[in-house]
Amino acid sequence: MDYFLKILGGGREVGRSAIEVSNSDYSVVMDYGVNFDEKDNPNFPLQETPSKVKGFIVSHAHLDHVGALPIYQLGSLNTKIYGTVITRVITEIMLKDFLKLSGPKVPFEWVEVRKAMDNFMAVGYNEEFELEGLKVILSDAGHIPGSAIVKVVSEKGNVAFTGDINLTETKLMRPADLNALRDANVLITESTYGRFNHPTRKSVEDEFYEKVLEVVENGGTVLVPAFSLARSQEVLCVLAERDFPYPVYYDGMSREITELMLGFREYLNKPDLLKKVYDKFNYVKGWDDRHRAWKESGVIVASAGMLKGGPAVYYFKKLAENPKNGIFLVSYQAINTPGRKLLETGKFDEYSPLLKARFEIFDFSSHAGKDQLLEIVKASNNLEKVVLVHGSYDNQQHLADLIKEKTGVEVIIPENGQEIKLF
């Protein structure tokens, strides 16, 4: 029986990850996420005949990997979902928030989110389970707590999907466990940073800390817009580890996610450091705290990371016109977001004045860079084919050329809807 790969989302684009492995009888889908157009409307993946899809395997809980899962719970559908236990719990938080913010633009409601959670089976790392005759194993991808490399084993060969992956040790995460890739015949890998290497994590942390300290010691306040899931916790851990001597506030959904992470310490690299964040820093509970935070020389870590909404926008408007303050970006800035506009024009939007506060961006990425992606490819001893997803075409083409030059392995850069014979 022949097996095929179909790209339902994430082909020549970042986000909307959805990768189908199928034969003539059934299919399983790895991730089912969303991304957003320039008007902030959600884009959903292509769909497979619902009766053919026997289950979803989730690499991690970021919305661009889980945001469309409830579609396969509509009506009488009860499609099983598999992922780590912390991914299950965080996915529920992310889907609730997505529904709250984008409800009228989303083809499902709360009842489908609830069904998705009821059908979500928690699986541990390196714990083999079976799905329609396929054996599946998850291993740590090093991206965020609970993130997983997915290996699917059939009678014809082995497929490995990295999801989002990182080989750099961070405060939250240990490096990815590449053992699952050793016997992979086909590797499907993200390629977000296929043209670039990241600076060393220590150099980024040192620079960030020193510049934060400089602003605060000169009487200013630093706003750090950051994703509530993982990036906020990472930045707060950097400050906590060095016993930052000034007030630190954090605002948004990060409190709920921090509490959740502390309930799953086995998924964290330095759980005691995150507990220190929780105990020592100030969570903003309401508007009184919010008013106090921006008037005090210190640091505010607030969602959203791209300044698309959330409390970060409120703080930005309070702090942006004072040159004593700082706006320090630490997250990926997608096209057409206010964060990207700031980088390109120095303005929040076309109606805003030029930013006067000190403006910096720091590479706290939780994705592998170019050389690490090559290392991931080289981890397999039996590799026949590499499929690049979750990246822009120029980044993918650059990485494909590098992989071919260094390994000689066939590299495919598929478009959405493209079907590839696996074996």
Q: Please give the Cα distance from 118 to 312 (Å, whole number).
A: 33
> Taking the CA of residue 194 as centre, how many other CA atoms within 13 Å lie in the half-sphere pointing to its CB?
26
Q: Is 41 helix (H, G, I), strand (E, B) or coil?
A: coil
Give the per-residue pLDDT at 338. Answer: 95
Residues 6+ apart with CB under 8 A from 286: none
Residue pair 138/126 in contact by the 8 Å Cβ criterion = yes
Cis upstream peptide for 304 (omega within 30°): yes
Residue pair 191/351 in contact by the 8 Å Cβ criterion = no
Residue pair 352/342 in contact by the 8 Å Cβ criterion = no
Longest dimension (CA), the chain: 68
Confidence of residue 378 (pLDDT cuts 50, 70, 90): very high
Give the percent of the chain with pLDDT over 90: 96
C-alpha R_g of the chain: 21
Residue pair 326/221 in contact by the 8 Å Cβ criterion = yes
Question: Does position 245 have pLDDT exceeding 90, yes or no?
Answer: yes
Domains, the chain, ordered by start: 4-196+366-421 (3.60.15.10), 201-361 (3.40.50.10890)
Q: Does an H or E element contain 86, and which?
A: helix 85-102
Q: What is the pLDDT of residues 274-322, one digit of tens each?
A: 999 999 999 999 999 999 999 999 999 999 999 999 999 999 999 999 9
Burial class (CB in 10 A: 0-12, 13-18, 19+), 306: buried
Question: Does position 6 have pLDDT exceeding 90, yes or no?
Answer: yes
Q: Please give the Cα distance from 270 to 172 (Å, whole number).
A: 6
Residue pair 120/83 in contact by the 8 Å Cβ criterion = yes
Average pLDDT over residues 149-170: 98
Confidence of residue 133 (pLDDT cuts 50, 70, 90): confident
Mean model confidence pLDDT for the chain? 97
> Taking the CA of residue 206 as centre, how many other CA atoms within 13 Å lie in the half-sphere pointing to its CB?
5
Question: Does position 131 have pLDDT exceeding 90, yes or no?
Answer: yes
Torsion sign, CA atoms 48, 49, 53, 58: positive
Question: Does position 244 have pLDDT exceeding 90, yes or no?
Answer: yes
Confidence of residue 350 (pLDDT cuts 50, 70, 90): confident
CB atoms within 10 A of CB 382: 12
Confidence of residue 39 (pLDDT cuts 50, 70, 90): confident
Average pLDDT over residues 95-120: 96
DSSP string, 193-205: TTT-PPPPHHHHH
Question: Does position 175 have pLDDT exceeding 90, yes or no?
Answer: yes
Kindly state the tokens that stand for 127: 């714990």
Q: Is 421 helix (H, G, I), strand (E, B) or coil?
A: strand
